[in-house]
Amino acid sequence: MENSGSRTRHLLRARPYPAKLSIVVPMYNEEEVAGAFRAAVTAFFSEVACPCEVVLVNDGSTDSTISQLVEWSAADPRVKVLHLSRNFGHQIAATAGLDHATGDAVVLIDADLQDPLPVIHQMIMRYCEGYDVIYGRRESRAGETAHKRFTAWVFYRVMRTLVYRDLPIDTGDFRLISRECLDALNTMRETHRFLRGMIAWVGWPQIDVPYHRHARAAGTTKYSLLKMLSFAWTAATSFSAVPLRASIFAGVLVGLLGIEEALRAMAAWLFGWYTVPGWSSLMVVTSLIGSMTLISIGIVGEYLAHVYEEAKDRPLYMVARVYESAEESTEARPPHNEIIRTDG
Ligand code: UDP
Ligand code: MG
């Protein structure tokens, strides 16, 4: 895969082991898995040869997740908890965590232990070789329904062919990002975020690490079918104008159909074919044109809505509170667009 095909050829520069490793974890109603995750991270940190931190983003959980996280941060100075003011969704919560990570290698991972922490060791090796983005590629996905696997399979292929050519296949958000690349990513403040696509867009030397994905350690998926569909739609419309162009294409198609109908009517008149007053063909063409017009207007409206959202230029998220032990409270990096009250 290295520098293959149309990928930009980079000269890799070996770098030393990271001076600090950050782990960023968005969490939404993860009370069932929070304890196991804490144990896994603590064990993992003891194997890492540099100082570590973990940035936990509580994405407006409605269960006891936040109390468990605050308890953890009180016990461990390497833990920082961002408590968002409400549920902003996975991609925004991840963005909040990435904004607040201070390491020079930053790992984005889910809280459910589906992505095994030890894979990060392999990612760090690649990081030392000079790669800036090392993403986990799922060779297998345990404990997921055939239906989920199928939708994921379709999702990646459609996104790749229609939307973004360089989007790595079978890859989630589990990845390690270098400080240089993360700083570049952090300059992109668009409201409709599809992080995987944005990271592919940023460029830099990127490589995959294959791994076997586990089943969820506990709890249930926070991505319902509806959320998945809306995520796919965000991905498609925030990354390409293909849907807009598709409506032009469909318009042309319907237009051709109309011409064909006209020719047929003329031929019928010339050759004296049997002609019913032509009510059905008229209806077909009319309703086709009507539906195409409405769909096209709808798609234009969708893009207009995106422009409207961006024009408002709102902050992406609100941090209601930050919890961390006093010993470690060095807020070195300036946060983007947000309100912080650290009176927690
Ligand atoms: N998540 C979040 N906000 C949301 C939905 C999910 O922060 O609105 C988190 C969730 O807690 C988990 C990660 O995003 O850590 C991935 O979610 P999940 O495991 O449910 O997705 P799946 O692996 O089933 O695609
Ligand atoms: Mg999961």
Residues pairing with 213 in the sheet = 141
Instruction: Report the residue count for the chain.
Output: 344
pLDDT single digits (tens) 192-245: 888 988 998 898 999 999 999 888 877 887 777 788 788 888 888 877 777 777
How far does residue 224's CA lie from ligand 1's centre (Å)? 10
User: What are the tens digits of pLDDT across the range 166-186?
Assistant: 788 888 899 999 999 999 999
pLDDT value of residue 279:
66
What's the one-letter identity of residue 79?
V
Question: What pLDDT score was predicted for residue 1?
Answer: 38
| Helices then strands, each counted (H, E), the chain | 10, 8
Report the 10 Å Cβ neighbour count for 117: 18
Asked if pLDDT for residue 344 goes beyond 70, the answer is: no
Angle at 218 between CA 217 and CA 219, to 5 degrees: 140
First-to-last alpha carbon distance for the chain, in angstroms, is 47
Q: How far, in Å, CA of 198 to CA of 149, rounded?
A: 23
Closest protein CA for atom 3 of ligand 1:
90
Which amino acid residue places its CA nearest to atom 19 of ligand 1? 221
Averaged pLDDT for residues 301-312: 84
Sign of CA dihedral 314, 165, 109, 100: negative
Angle between helices 279-312 and 242-271 (to 10 degrees): 160
Tokens standing for 342?
A: 């650290």
Q: Whose CA is nearest to atom 8 of ligand 1?
A: 89
Tell me what the pLDDT averaged over the chain comes to: 85
- Tell me what pLDDT residue 312 has: 81
Q: Running DSSP on this structure, what letter comes out for residue 326?
A: G
Cα(24)–Cα(97) distance, integer angstroms: 5
Residue 308 has pLDDT above 50, yes or no: yes
User: Half-sphere exposure (CA, 13 Å, Cβ side) for 117?
Assistant: 23
**Closest ligand, as measured to the CA of 84:** 1
Mutational test site, ligand 1, from 37, 83, 88, 112, max ligand atoms within 8 Å of CB: 112
**pLDDT beyond 60 at 2:** no
E-assigned strand segments in the chain: 21-27, 52-58, 79-84, 105-108, 133-141, 171-178, 206-213, 319-324
Q: Taking 70 as the threshold, does the pLDDT of residue 14 lie above it?
A: yes
Residue 43, Cβ neighbours under 10 Å: how many?
11
Residue range 25-53, pLDDT digits in tens: 999 999 999 999 999 999 999 999 999 99
Q: Largest Cα–Cα distance in the chain?
A: 94
Residue with the bigger pLDDT between 251 and 209: it is: 209
Ligand 2 centroid to 76 CA: how many Å?
Answer: 25
Q: Do the Cβ atoms of 119 and 210 come closer than 8 Å?
A: no
Q: How confident is the model at residue 57 (pLDDT cuts 50, 70, 90)?
A: very high
Q: For residue 260, how far is the Cα from the chain centroid?
A: 44
What DSSP string runs through 132-183? SEEEEEEEEETT--HHHHHHHHHHHHHIIIII-TTPPTTEEEEEEEEHHHHH
Q: Which span out of 14-18, 240-244, 301-305 was modeled with the highest average pLDDT? A: 14-18
Say if residue 4 is exposed, middle or buried (CB neighbours under 10 Å; 0-12, 13-18, 19+).
exposed
